[in-house]
Amino acid sequence: MKQHHYPVKTLLTLCALWLLAGPVAAEAPEGYDFVSYDEGLRLAAEQDRPVFMYFGRYGCGWCEKTNKESFSDADLKTLYTDNYVLVYVDAESGHRMTLPSGERITEMELGARMNVFATPVFGFLEADGSTIFTVPGYKTADEFRDYHRFVSGGHYKEQRLFDFLADQAR
């Protein structure tokens, strides 16, 4: 009886193709001018604008849902593009960057420092890079508009995000 080794050959071929494909990076929403973290902090300081930071990763279904359903909103795109320096961080990337302190770390290390252990996570930073707040998970365009009101109105200086949102709901 003749044995066929097709499954082994198929597996080896698939492994070879995977290795040849190289690393795959996560993607920021289409049509937005996201920059790297270190570039974003530089621009924020130059322009005295807050930072909107998006932690994503390749294969993140909730990131894809957010990109398709929330970031496709034209009014939201205008709002965020006009008011923030947009930063995208691949939470699994080994891409190295330089912090304002001069320290060199990877995007993955930045995520760990900011307690990003699942994606997506969205953060708002002062122009100097200090964190205003972060929120995890899928968010609607309306939620992003609420976050903008919280940041642009300076409400974060006097109350917590969830208190602000509760006040807005009344």
pLDDT in tens, 43-55: 999 999 999 999 9
Residue 85 pairs with which residues in a beta bridge?
51
Residue 5 has a pLDDT of: 54
Q: Are 88 and 54 in contact (CB under 8 A)?
A: yes
85-90 and 51-56 beta bridge pairing: parallel
DSSP 52-67: EEEEE-TT-HHHHHHH
CA dihedral 40, 45, 48, 54 (to 10 degrees): 20
What average pLDDT score do residues 70-83 get? Answer: 97
Q: What is the pLDDT of residues 19-31, one digit of tens each?
A: 333 344 568 888 8
First to last CA, the chain: 77
Would the pLDDT of 1 be above 80? no
Would the pLDDT of 3 be above 70? no
List the chain domain ranges.
24-169
Q: Is 151 left (phi over 0), alpha (psi -120 to 50) or beta?
A: alpha
What average pLDDT score do residues 113-133 get? Answer: 95
What average pLDDT score do residues 113-134 get? Answer: 95
Residue 99 has a pLDDT of: 87
Residues with Cβ within 8 Å of 93's Cβ and at least 6 positions away in sequence, in order, are 25, 26, 106, 107, 108
Would the pLDDT of 12 be above 70? no
Looking at 3.40.50.970, 3.40.30.10, 3.40.50.1970, 3.30.360.10, the CATH number of the domain 24-169 comes to 3.40.30.10
DSSP code of 156?
G
More confident residue, 147 or 12: 147
pTM: 0.83
Residue 55 pairs with which residues in a beta bridge?
89, 121
More confident residue, 162 or 11: 162
Q: Are 137 and 160 in contact (CB under 8 A)?
A: no
Tokens standing for residue 18: 């995977």
What average pLDDT score do residues 119-134 get? Answer: 96
